[in-house]
Amino acid sequence: MIRVQNLTKYYGERLAVNNISFNIDKGEIVGLLGPNAAGKTTTMRILTGFLMPTKGDAFIADHNMATDSLEGRRHIGYMPESIPLYTDMKVRDYLEFFGRIRGLDANQTHTRIDEVVQTCHLEEYIDVIIGKLSRGFRQRVGIAQAIIHNPDVLILDEPTIGIDPIQVAQTRNLIKELGKEHTVLISTHILPEVSIICERVIIIHRGKIVAEDNIENLSAVLRGSRRIRVEVKGPADRISIALRRIPGVRRVMREGDFFIVESPAEVDPRAKINETMVKSGWTLLSAESVEMSLEEIFLQLTTKEDEEEPHQ
């Protein structure tokens, strides 16, 4: 349903998204997790056709969002992080406008307004001017606007930011409910949130995907592991097997000419790696910890909100 291939976005000189690729199947709820300024919003803006990528492609329901954006946009419901609203409009008029503009006729729009108002618990506020609503209710109007035309794909940018804990819980439940009928991509910088809502998570940092897995696997990884990038001259297959036999090594992955050796955080297998390679007569060119380890990202993701950089 969502397909991203080698997506790269520069803002002038600044690299915001660096060659990322991922797929999201129909019916999945996927979280885009990353600290502020990781490239989450940029990725979503490209997926919704609001921004053009510098390189690479983004597809929604097999429509390329750069060349066939108008068709692709019919399939998406989008709530930007800032929750844009016409503050001088009543909730009903606002929903009606976006229902009509996304292709519903007058009758369909009225039926759908009744439905989404129920889904988002806005019954009592339907005739209130949006400017008078509190942040929590504005956010519900934002979600109602995104689902008014019953889109296949829902893209929600930081849907639980800035609202009180009870509302956060309600919103998470709502998104889970919506996930039964829609393909959902949400972005968040709160780690526990993805484990509550999502089936799968894509961790993005400094514009690159650093991990992509389902929740169980990822939390095992996040519980503590060390990654070492090893460069060895010799027969790749045999090296891989040898590395795997080293005590403490959990997994060995290939990344181009390198091997990524994963081990528990408390074990440093570098000395053993060196020993093994020398014994087998292969030349160890380098063995270094991978620059941004998942634990560091994890730490960043779990820092409290007030310690974060002020803007994205």
Q: Which residues from 29-48 bind another protein, rule CB under 8 A?
A: 45, 48
What does the block give as tokens for 231? 């460069």
Structure tokens at 99: 């229902």
Angle, helices 91-101 vs 135-147, to 10°: value is: 30
Question: 155, 3, 156: which is closest to 76 by C-alpha?
Answer: 155
x/- binding map, residues 51-80, to another protein, per CB under 8 A? Answer: xx-----------------xx-xx-x-x-x
* 264 lies in the site for another protein, by CB under 8 A: no
79-108 residues in contact with another protein (CB under 8 A) are: 80, 82-89, 93, 97-98, 100-103
Nearest-angstrom CA–CA distance, 20 and 43: 9
We find the least distance from the C-beta atom of residue 45 to another protein, in angstroms, to be 8
Q: How far is the CB of 102 from another protein (least distance, A)?
A: 5
Helix (H/G/I), strand (E/B), else coil: 128: coil
Q: What is Dmax (Cα atoms) for the chain?
A: 78
Smaller CB separation from another protein, 74 or 270: 74
Whole-angstrom Cα distance, residue 272 to residue 278? 10
Binding of another protein by 50 (CB under 8 A): yes
Total residues contacting another protein by CB under 8 A comes to 30
Closest distance of CB 32 from another protein, Å: 17
Binding mask 129-168 for another protein (x = CB under 8 A): ----------------x-----------------------
Q: Is 171 left (phi over 0), alpha (psi -120 to 50) or beta?
A: alpha
From the list 79, 50, 42, the residue with the least C-alpha distance to 66 is 50
- Residues at the site binding another protein, with contacts judged by CB under 8 A: 11, 45, 48-52, 70-71, 73-74, 76, 78, 80, 82-89, 93, 97-98, 100-103, 145
